[in-house]
Chain A
Amino acid sequence: MRSLLKFITCGSVDDGKSTLIGHLLYDAKLLYADQEQALLLDSKAGSRSGAIDYSLLLDGLMAEREQGITIDAAYRYFTTHARSFIVADTPGHEEYTRNMAVGASFADLAVILLDASQGVLVQTRRHARICALMGIRYFVFAVNKMDLIGFEQAPFAAIQADIFRLKETLGLEHIYVIPLSATEGDNVTEPSPRLPWYDGEPLMRYLEGVDITAHTVEAGFYLPVQRVCRPDHTFRGFQGQIEAGSIRVGEEITALPSGEKALVKKIYLTDQETAAASSGRPVTLQLDREVDVSRGCVLTREAGLAVAKSFSASLLWMDDSVLTVGKDYFVKLGTKLLPGAVNAIHYKIDVNSGEHLPTRQLKKNEIAFCEITLSEAAVLDRFHAHKTLGELVLIDRISHMTSACGVISDIKQQEDRPAGTTFYHRNLLAQADIFEEFYYNLEIRTIIKQRPDRKSYTVGDEVPLKGESYCYPASFDVIVLKDQIAVLVRDKKIENICALSGYVYTGFPLTNGRGFGILANTAAEVALFLSEYQLAKRENEAHFFNKWISFSTYRSVIFHDDFWMI
């Protein structure tokens, strides 16, 4: 059993979360005399009745004390003879849901409070859903204010039945339901004589005994690389935290995404050399040969991680700005930070009913199931298989706000049909974005690209030559350098799709795979263009583009003021 338990309290406004924790600390004699004295003084000064107001121990911000509400998560620390605890008291107001989610992402267990006189509310469902989304597996439903319903069993049983229905709906793994009164102290640390019909444990005893490590073992070994340690030319070590499994000197690891293999030469557990280390430990690994590893790579063994560019994820939107489909964000995933975009919102989830609702945008505190594409393939996995590589945040590229958090549920393997426009013929496949629209968004003063819906074209198909921001001639050749394929359009229709190696320039205008004009007008120039591309691939790409590529030949940028229509 883990000696440290991190838990949160959540629930609707005025369900008594802060009061409950205050009471736990008070009962456990965990207050220092000066804190207790301040509490008594503050309680008298406050507008609530003269009794001790335990919530004042938690609500530390001036705005919170003025308004009598919790705005942000507060962390408290206490130890009993059985265990050490860190508890995050989280806000109940819907407005501050994202602060509640912050607490949930940190915790192993959630104590969800309900008011016995009110039962299961929308906010109860919202919080349970978000806790489950963030990966919490253990739930305590604390039916508080039992004093208001005369400590009676029947109304409690009705609420308990609702809770069990909620468990089924959300697929919660472990739940425990406790009737209690936080203000009066019934069933908080000691069993209450006023609840003789309750044969379970009081809250504190349950928290001291619960084993949250059961069924949390992930397959294999993996270590997302945080940094490369190079004190001098003789030493190169990879630093990071082991997220699952264990590793011994002499064992073989695979570096992802490169796939290179190497043997572990030395392991340092912080500053001590060791023969082996396991999950949770901060280590530095030295390998027996040079491999291509930098921050964001993952060292792994038998974990079955994926290297992929697109995936589906459940997102909690946390930004005041609305989610824009197609807009670029930074995605942080493990120790990797890279550009990416939400390509599609499949549906949003009604927090109360769980119903799937179609939507085109996502507002603060909404949860949705989305498709995300990264600018390049990254090492990742489903949240339920390897937690750390299934978690992500989206960061706004302009405001730098942490706009959303999410968990990966489904990975699109690389060979899947890519998003956007594809051209195919026999075994040839090219991804080309020649029908993308370019808008200058006047609201955020940034150029934004909008991809058309996923569509494939083959020989004989007619193509849309004119869009809002592009206009191609009736006959032209598309040279898709990345996939080394040429698409020949003649009189609005695709005449042929062939490999670049077999392509012959016949004098028709040229575009690249993004619809940018290629400044080559003779067979010799085309040959030079293709050979310089091979050289420029790795470095000096910008120089190559500036020499050969012209954006404005067939394209322009359209001003647009209606931000959310894009």
Chain B
Amino acid sequence: MSAMSHLDELEAEAIYILREVAAECERPVMLYSIGKDSSVMLRLALKAFYPEKPPFPFLHIDTSWKFKEMITFRDHTAKKLGIEMLVYRNEDGIRQGINPFDHGAAYTDIMKTQALKQALSQYRFTAAFGGGRRDEEKSRAKERIFSFRNETQAWDPKNQRPEMWKLYNTKLNKGESIRVFPISNWTEKDVWQYIQREEIEIVPLYFAKERPVVCRDGNIIMRDDDRLPLLTGEKPEFKKVRFRTLGCYPLTGGYESEAVTLDDIIEETLSAVTSERTSRVIDKEAAGSMERRKREGYF
């Protein structure tokens, strides 16, 4: 009966939240984005209900532009653990040829936000777990662990229900649903240390390796397939890079790095001089862009 470490306390808080939702909410789902935060969430879900399997399905919103290694990892993980993995794509958007090069912010809206809304309403999920953390961005820092969305899935930051102690209020009004963020209070460093402690498998893209890339607007973009058009003057090259966050490959900047083990990654994270979101191209829009997207239904 050793004393609880910082990670033990964060783990206990997250498990408490997972169990509350499973007990009180009608149709929960866990969003699974294949990234490191999702990997931690998945592990927490396996631990929270043991020896029972997580009593809810997992949902991946596939924009069709994810790294190939992510999709392989997703399918391998679902099969290995025997969990129910739902995959949803906005087929309308795919038919219209919506892509990150020609459609910019509209791409994120249609292929991520709208796709998520469609999936939640199609399956009638009333509560969706997400791996959002308050240290990621300033408007997230203000968001409750149980965050309500109205019938259009929009967030009203000025009118959040008070969240007292561990007494979470899961009562829904008509058309409302909840986003639940069990790892709200974790930092990027906590996530990495937990991955190390629990020996959680993660997508190999997090580790540095020689990869085919192009440099564009100061970002290192991986040519994951030949859908990435080369601009004039750009020439593909091989660099030893890794990724700090994972998303759609044309929108995810890599880092030149020598970090090939978890220890290397943790050391690199601790000494990093920029926050992880700088590698997400969408976050560099005007201040408040994240809040605006969340008001519109972004996770």
Q: Which 5 A-B pairs have the closest CB atoms?
A: A60-B138, A270-B47, A271-B50, A400-B171, A32-B275
Q: Does A391 contact B185, Cβ atoms closer than 8 Å?
A: no
Q: Does A226 contact B52, Cβ atoms closer than 8 Å?
A: no
Q: With A32-B275, A33-B274, A105-B164 given, is the CB distance from A332 to B169 under 8 Å?
A: yes
Q: Which residues of A contact B169 (CB under 8 A)?
A: 332, 393, 395, 400, 402
Q: Does A61 contact B173, Cβ atoms closer than 8 Å?
A: no
Q: With A77-B187, A231-B52, A282-B15 given, is the CB distance from A101 to B162 under 8 Å?
A: yes
Contact of B164 among A3, A84, A101 (CB under 8 A): A101
Contact of B16 among A76, A229, A282, A405 (CB under 8 A): A282
Q: Does A34 contact B160, Cβ atoms closer than 8 Å?
A: no
Q: Does A392 contact B167, Cβ atoms closer than 8 Å?
A: yes
Main secondary structure of the interface of A (DSSP, over half): mixed
Q: With A76-B141, A318-B162 given, is the CB distance from A241 to B134 under 8 Å?
A: no
Q: With A32-B273, A400-B173 given, is the CB distance from A105 to B15 under 8 Å?
A: no
Main secondary structure of the interface of B (DSSP, over half): loop
Chain A binder among B1-9, B70-78, B107-115, B229-237: B1-9
Q: Give the nearest-CB partner of B22 in chain A.
A: A227
Q: With A276-B1, A399-B173 given, is the CB distance from A268 to B164 under 8 Å?
A: no
Q: Which residues of A contact B274 (CB under 8 A)?
A: 32-34
Does B127 belong to the interface (CB within 8 Å)? no
Q: Count CB-based A-B contacts (< 8 Å).
A: 171
Interface residue ranges, A against B (CB under 8 Å): 3-4, 32-35, 38, 42, 57-63, 65, 71-77, 79, 84, 86, 98-99, 101-102, 105-106, 134, 226-227, 229-231, 235, 237, 239-241, 246, 268, 270-271, 276-278, 280-282, 284, 295, 318, 330, 332-333, 335, 337, 388, 391-393, 395, 399-402, 405
Q: Give the nearest-CB partner of A42 in chain B.
A: B287
Does B288 belong to the interface (CB within 8 Å)? yes
Q: Does A60 contact B139, Cβ atoms closer than 8 Å?
A: yes
Contact of B51 among A42, A231, A388, A402 (CB under 8 A): A231
Q: With A240-B19, A400-B171 given, is the CB distance from A277 to B1 under 8 Å?
A: yes
Count class of interface residues, chain B: 35 or more
Q: Which residues of A contact B185 (CB under 8 A)?
A: 75, 77, 86
Contact of B162 among A231, A235, A405 (CB under 8 A): A405
Q: Does B134 contact A71, Cβ atoms closer than 8 Å?
A: no
Q: Which residues of A contact B172 (CB under 8 A)?
A: 400
Give A45 Cβ to nearest chain B Cβ, in Å: 9
Q: Does B162 contact A61, Cβ atoms closer than 8 Å?
A: no
Q: Does A75 contact B184, Cβ atoms closer than 8 Å?
A: yes
Give B126 Cβ to nearest chain A Cβ, in Å: 13
Cβ proximity bits B179-215 to A, threshold 8 Å, 1 near / 0 not:
0000011010100000000000000000000000000
Q: With A77-B187, A241-B16, A281-B12 given, is the CB distance from A402 to B52 under 8 Å?
A: no
- Tell which of B49, B51, B135, B272 has the most Cβ of chain A within 10 Å: B51
Give A314 Cβ to nearest chain B Cβ, in Å: 13
Q: Does A77 contact B158, Cβ atoms closer than 8 Å?
A: no
Q: Does A61 contact B158, Cβ atoms closer than 8 Å?
A: yes
Report Cα–Cα, A270/B15, bound state, in Å.
9
Q: With A71-B158, A227-B19 given, is the CB distance from A60 to B141 under 8 Å?
A: yes
